[in-house]
Chain A
Amino acid sequence: MAMDWAMAAGRWLGWAWLGVLAGCGGGKPQAADLQRAESMRPADARLAGKYQRSCLICHGNQASQAPLAGFAPAWKPRLEKGMPLLLAHVRDGFNAMPVRGYCNDCSDEEFGRLIAFMAGDGGEGAR
């Protein structure tokens, strides 16, 4: 269902800014961050293909409330919890992310590289 009604209704109620991205921390992405999230891809072409068809749907779109690709402040508190927990979240699903994060042919190693790429730690580079 589309709930774009809320774009206006949230403001009508005057509550739109309440609790935005609770738990994400690290401030709000700016226009440049959103543009970067749309355009960045892993340097590895094979991984880039998986990223584009699986991760980008949510991690390139702020409306998903998933941590935005390349926006380090959103990823820092998550990385601090450790890669094993993040991998478990991908395998089991977490919040709106389904089991295996829309990538049924990704290995754990590839999930780790995709997380590192989105977290912007330079692990995979970007193009």
Chain B
Amino acid sequence: MKPRLSRRAMLQLGGGALLGAWAAQSRAPLAAPPAGGYRWRNWSGLQSCAARELATPGDEAELAKLLHEAARTGVPLRCVGAGHSFSPLVPTAGKLVSLDRMSGLLSHDAAAGEATLLAGTRIGLLARLLDEKGLALRNQPDIDAQSYAGAISTATHGTGAGLPALHADARALRLLTPSGLALDCGKGRDDDLLQAARVSLGSLGVIARATVAALPAYHLQRKLWLLPAQDMLEAAPELARRHRHFEFYYLPFTGYAAAIVHDIRPPGPASRPASADEDMLRELRRLRDWLGGMPALRRWTARRLIDPDLSELAFDKSWRLLSTVRPTRFNESEWHVPREAGIACVREVIDKLERRNDVFFPLEFRFVKADDAWLSPFYRRDSCSIAIHAAAGEPHDYLLTEIAPLFRRYEGRPHWGKLHPYGAADFAALYPRWSDFLKLRRELDPKGALLNHHLRRVFGVPA
């Protein structure tokens, strides 16, 4: 049996002093907003802005009025959801709009396998509301605080080689535009608009409602186990093929990776071990803090501490297992590469990451099925997703300066809501329907009422 550090030993090594630093990540109070204005900050604390106002329309008429005003006055408007995007999609000196009051299920049709919801509904609430009707989403992202509109607009996804991202299950959308249009698309109406609107970064209009595919409610069993990293890289494609959901986490400077699979099982009593995610993250960070300057000793210590034979099982309703909550704030960059190149790419990324002794956050590797949305990073390309993280408040520039160039060589498409250095020319080369999308954007929002500085760079629109 591997030796393990006891709590006492950890404290003797100085952990007690570090606990204080982790006990509360208080944030500086937000600066006073402009008169009558609103100061916004994203979840990680990286992005912020002083907006003129935070508007919370209660229905489509109020939302349409806000859009009309934006077009008329030239004061731009950006929608904000849960603030879980790390890229600056939200910041504006204009007006922020939250769809928090436009939340809830409007109808459901179990026979057709679909439900219609207001687009401000958060994923976690949507899952609960569907469950009350005996339904469930086909897949979920691993964080469920996002509004539905925000999640699909940035191509938020879960994992599963045979499962597409959330937006692919949007069968119909209603889009309100700055020019005063209420456009319904999907289910035989304007399929091109649906494929453009599914992933549209809030740039075509504001999604007010959606009809989404839903399955009969189902239970999942989760299994989690460790493998030496090299074994995991070899086994990953087969594990992805055999299981409905498969992903792995590479634990930096340990030589190990953790596999997680979920598979559908008949209903039964729930069984969920208490999450120890934060404790593990704390210990990986502590190992970095103590031994980061001695990577060989850091690896040796980690190998001595890890018992690779243990595994865990959990069983519950799908929505309770597929999504969770993140107590520790971080910044993130995520790239989607062609599936056949995923393992080769992640090998390079791991090698590059471990040249930096300050890295301790696990790397996440997932599988996503192709879809047809014009700006989907999975557009007609089965993909592997590679996510890299840095703790909030720690340096993260290297995610873009050192790691992003690797993804470029693999034709990686960045997650829209996560950090990336790309501009319009990069995207034009990556997205076959890029120019079609730009043309549609100009038609629906000719004055750029829905753009901010970041989106102007993304779309190549001069200020």
Contacts and interface: CB of A to CB of B under 8 A. Distances in A.
Given A22-B22, A98-B83, A88 B312 contact: no
B326 to A, nearest CB: 6
A15 B80 CA distance: 38
Contacts of B28: 92
A12 B307 contact: yes
A9 B280 contact: yes
Interface centre among B39, B82, B311, B312, by most A CB within 10 Å?
B312
Given A19-B282, A63-B324, A104-B80, A6 B275 contact: yes
A76 B125 CA distance: 28
A45 interface: no
A53 B125 contact: yes
A72 interface: no
B325 A1 contact: no
A4 B45 CA distance: 24
A96 interface: yes
Contacts of B258: 5-6, 8-9
Given A9-B306, A102-B145, A62 B275 contact: yes
Contacts, number: 206
Contacts of B203: none
Interface centre among B124, B260, B279, B325, by most A CB within 10 Å?
B279
Contact of B56 (A3, A4, A14, A105): A105
Interface stretch (B96-104, B288-296, B454-462): B96-104
Contacts of A56: 124-125
A102 B125 CA distance: 12
Q: How large is the interface on B (under 10, 10 to 19, 20 to 34, 35 or more residues)?
A: 35 or more
A57 B145 contact: yes
Nearest to B334: A1
A103 B100 contact: yes
A53 B4 contact: no
A14 B5 contact: yes
**Interface secondary structure of B, over-half rule:** mixed
Contacts of A6: 258, 275-281
A63 to B, nearest CB: 4
B337 interface: no
B278 A104 contact: no
A62 B83 CA distance: 22
B83 A10 contact: no
Interface string B390-428: 000000000000000000000000000000000000000
A104 B224 contact: no
Given A2-B364, A91-B30, A104-B54, A7 B25 contact: no
A95 B249 contact: no
B122 A57 contact: yes
A7 B264 CA distance: 20
A127 interface: no
A58 B326 CA distance: 9
B10 to A, nearest CB: 6
Given A12-B306, A18-B7, A104-B80, A95 B279 contact: no
6 contacts: A19-B279, A19-B282, A56-B125, A57-B124, A63-B324, A93-B30
Closest 10 A-B residue pairs measured CB to CB? A14-B4, A6-B280, A5-B258, A10-B276, A2-B142, A64-B325, A104-B98, A23-B23, A63-B275, A6-B277
Interface of A: 1-20, 22-23, 52-54, 56-58, 61-66, 88-89, 91-96, 98-99, 102-105
